[in-house]
Amino acid sequence: MNDKHPIHTTLSTEAIRILERYEQELGTKNIVLERALLGMDKLRFKDKIDPQSIGRIIKRVKTGIKGFDELLEGGIPEGFVVAVTGTPGTGKTTFSMQFLLEGLKNNERCVLFSFEEKADQIIKSAIRFGWDIGEYIDKGYLEIFGFTLLSTEEIIEIFDIFKPKRVVFDSINILSDIGNFRRSSRWRTILKDIKEKKMTGLVITEKKHGLEVKEFDEFDFMSDGVLFFDKKHINDLDQYKTYFIEIQKMRITKINEMPLEFIFSEHGIEFRVPRELLKSL
């Protein structure tokens, strides 16, 4: 048992049993959960710890996207960095903008780093869905860095000064070789800072293949969650498309990995999740 639990040498035997049971239920191992248990041990709550109470102490950040938060037990765990990946033109940027908009509606500071578009292009694109993000920029709740070539130090300085709760990077393929991501000290430093400051981040990456290919890049393994976006053409004329998302990974969260259909409404992305699926989660 000791070899299996190298980092929590001060956890009680009961807490380790709970950790093992919770990991078996969710099929994953996570340091955040271990530290939560450790904190509860210190507070002498260990006799009352169970998987349900652990779920209650995990703060979740709502995406605000209709029908989606229910699939993640209420939202993305706070402090997580999630890969929003998939083929081009599948809604990754729209999804990420809605995530930021939900934070803005709750007076949270948000930052968007775009490596593909200018800030004014992003603002104009948001108008399509009736999102007046310029209002939040004027009020000081949103910062957009378009076509950014910021250094690691400058990005961290922005975090220190602006103190955002939500952050989006769109898209990191332009700046980084995803195949060598783990060896990138730049991104390891940025991701570490996001977690230490308890920000919740979405990092958009591009895939050349759809859901039919089960192939993962290095950032998929480094991230706390992976949301894969894809589309299928109904006919050869490319007139009609069906859009899907697959929740491939989300630590300390019970998920269903079945591809889920979504639509683009006048208000953005919306999910129509079958009741049977919600009951199974």
Q: Where in the chain is the domain with CATH 3.40.50.300?
A: 60-280
Give the pLDDT means over successive 10-residue stretches in the chain (281 positions).
44 63 60 56 49 70 93 94 94 97 97 92 92 95 90 94 97 65 74 94 87 72 92 70 92 90 93 63 53
Confidence at residue 9, expressed as pLDDT on a 0 to 100 scale:
43
Phi and psi at residue 240, in whole multiples of 5°?
-125, 140
What local confidence, expressed as pLDDT, does residue 45 receive? 46
- Could you give the CA distance from residue 85 to residue 113 in angstroms, rounded to a whole number? 16
Longest dimension (CA), the chain: 65
In DSSP notation, 142-179 reads EEEETT----HHHHHHHHHHH--SEEEEE-GGGTS-GG
- Classify residue 260 by its DSSP letter: E
pLDDT for the residue numbered 5: 40
Contact in structure between 248 and 257 (CB atoms under 8 Å): yes
Fold of 60-280: Rossmann fold (3.40.50)
- The Cα 93–Cα 68 span in angstroms is 16
